[in-house]
Homo-oligomer: A and B are copies of this chain.
């Protein structure tokens, strides 16, 4: 097994303070590796980075069309949102449209990462609900599919038709049979894959417009929804939202817990998947930005790029203390 390689350095004053190692793969639409760092065969949990894959059955089943879901709904199904009003208002309306309530979710409650929403709940003395969970859009998609299928309410059980449909879609687009699953923070199953399998699935999304099968058409719709609504995929100030805006429609990207990041780049027909071995999000954000710069789809001088690829470290009085930087190897153009 190839060891992970240095991807992100944390500098403070004159010295390297911390370092993050990882694996990354860029894959083309024939499933071939364009470039890799570390071990392309590293076994990973994609976590939330594969939400667009988990959303495929929602579209291919006809459920999305039947329930009138538009790009905003599909973007939320692919989102790890901040629990801001723009997210929870839409998820709440979606749930209402299904004739369901917050108690029908199985994702569990979560305090919003959006500060205004968080403070609003505290001021109103209201505890966070399940719709505040960053995965509530994905779960609204699961509930929609379950209703469409006439399946039972425990939609996160491994043998529930919704999860079986997710597994089938996941194995089809990664081109691998998953060796097993873990339970995600939102209590849904998360299927393991090789990093290459995940990159392959993203390249398959990137080239979906070249094909006319039902699965590819769904992939194209989901990618378009993410690109149209970067503010729904994450939230103000966050990497997915800001970097997608900076690329102005050239790519869809998605973070996952424990430092997974993926990118779908339709104009190049390539997919990217990376995993920082220690699970640090600050490093995966820096690394994906560097790879996107290397691929020529993200401007190195854009303020969003500087924010995530060379994040300054400030003291609590605003003094410049250091920065989080990609390694040179990661930055080299293809």
Q: Residues on A close to B: CB < 8 A?
A: 10, 12-15, 17-21, 43-45, 106-110, 119, 122-123, 133, 179-187, 190, 192, 258-259, 277-280, 283, 315-322
Contact = CB atoms under 8 A, between A and B. Distances in A.
Contacts of A278: 18-21, 278, 280, 283
Nearest to A3: B3
B277 A182 contact: no
B185 A107 contact: no
A12 B183 contact: yes
Given A18-B259, A277-B19, A315 B183 contact: yes
Can you list the 5 inter-chain pairs with the closest CB atoms, starting with the nearest? A108-B316, A13-B182, A18-B279, A108-B317, A12-B182
B45 A15 contact: yes
A10 B258 contact: yes
**Most B CB within 10 A of own CB, among A110, A180, A187:** A187
A108 B318 contact: yes
B182 A321 contact: yes
A107 B45 contact: no
Given A14-B180, A14-B182, A182-B321, A316 B19 contact: no
Contacts of A279: 10, 17-18, 280
A13 B184 CA distance: 9
Contact of A317 (B21, B107, B123, B318): B107
Nearest to A4: B19
Given A10-B258, A43-B15, A316-B107, A185 B20 contact: no
Contacts of A283: 278
